[in-house]
Structure 1
Amino acid sequence: MKKTLLLLLIACSVISCLRLENNETLEENQYKPVLVQRSVFEKSIVLENAQTITKSGKIYIKGDLMFINDVNKGFHVYDYSDPKNPVPLQFIKVPGATDLAIIDDIIYINQAVDLVALTYNATTKKIKITNRNKNVFPQKKSPNGFSGNHKENEIIIDWKVK
């Protein structure tokens, strides 16, 4: 019985340390990075019609507007002038975004590795990117904390289960 238990523990230890292709372990191999070319990434912020929230993140309220993050997808914008009845206005698509801050009328968004500044006008329903600071943040890690394999001009905007 003791030999069987010892062999089982050794086998589990060996399997947990097993390396796969590209130096990945079994644990990190369960996720695959969602990659976007830098040229596409920098043009990916667009204003769309209001949508259903799929994975809500942080909430930010500024004046009569409420912004709800849809994790790694962008921000849902609501008219919050009546807090008991928020009205969906639009969706700011920002692949890789998880947070924002607003100072005066400038919205600062972490878009994966970049810090983007933009303005949003609810009346005209337009956004304008005013600045992009590239590579301010590190590449996104997988949900279990591993780095992905990517080329220099690729940005990890999300992770999916394989």
Structure 2
Amino acid sequence: MKKTVLLLLVSILFVSCWPTTDSTNFPRQEYQPVIITRSVLETSIVFQNTQPIVKSGKIYVKGDLMFINDVNKGFHVYDYANPSKPERLYFIKAPGATDLAIKGNIVYINQAVDLVTATFDPATRIFKITNRNKNVFPQKQAPNGTFGYTKDNEIIIDWNLKK
């Protein structure tokens, strides 16, 4: 009798752990890759007028300048001489960019699959790309962890939620 009750309890325990197929499970979100060609990526970093921040990422402060990443879009640059009132200077458009680092006058940008090196003179605020190390990073994954398929000359710079 005790074995029967124990077997029944163990059976109920296993059944309660069985995955269900009811409609309360959330559907998996599907994403569409935003793809550009290698030649477009390599000429895509440009200075532009200030823009509103869409999706802020990491913040980097170097001297009197503050850089705020707009994920996969580029970097907003602020005059940070007065930290209580930063002043917008310009936007560095860099499609696929998610991070930067600065050492001295050298700026390193993670742009999609490439590591871009540039020089930056804080006094004149002249920004010049000096090197591009291609395919240093893997292609971007979708927010749900899936991968996109691209041709040899194509780079994923972002992902959009399918409608």
User: What is the TM-score when the length of structure 2 is the normalising length?
Assistant: 0.81
Q: Which residue in 1 is equivalent to 2:128?
A: 128
1:140 matched to which residue of 2? 140
Q: Which consecutive unaligned segments of at least 5 residues does structure 1 have?
A: 1-7, 13-25
Q: Which residue in the other structure is 1:57 paired with?
A: 57
1:68 aligned partner, one-letter code: I
Q: Which residue of 1 aligns with 2:109?
A: 109
Deviations 1:129-150 (A, max 9, x none): 0110000000000001111011
Map Cα deviations across residues 111-162 of structure 1 (whole Å, 9 max, x no partner).
Answer: 0000001123455443210110000000000001111011111000000011
Contact 1:47 1:126 in 2 (8 A): no
SS of aligned partner of 1:40: helix
**After the TM superposition, which of the residue ranges 123-132 and 84-93 deviates more from structure 2?**
123-132
The ranges of structure 1 where at least 4 consecutive aligned residues each deviate by more than 6 angstroms after the TM superposition are none
Alpha-carbon separation, structure 2, partners of 1:10 and 1:92: 48
**Structure 2 unaligned residues grouped into runs of 5+:** 1-18
Asked if 1:80 is matched to 2:51, the reply is no
Identity %: 64
* Matched residue, 1:160: 160
Distance 2:81 2:135 in 1: 36
Q: Which residue of 1 aligns with 2:99?
A: 99
Q: TM-score, normalised by structure 1?
A: 0.81
Residue in structure 2 matched with residue 23 of structure 1 by the alignment: none
- The two structures, once aligned, show a CA RMSD in angstroms of 2.0
**Which protein is bigger by CA-based radius of gyration?**
2
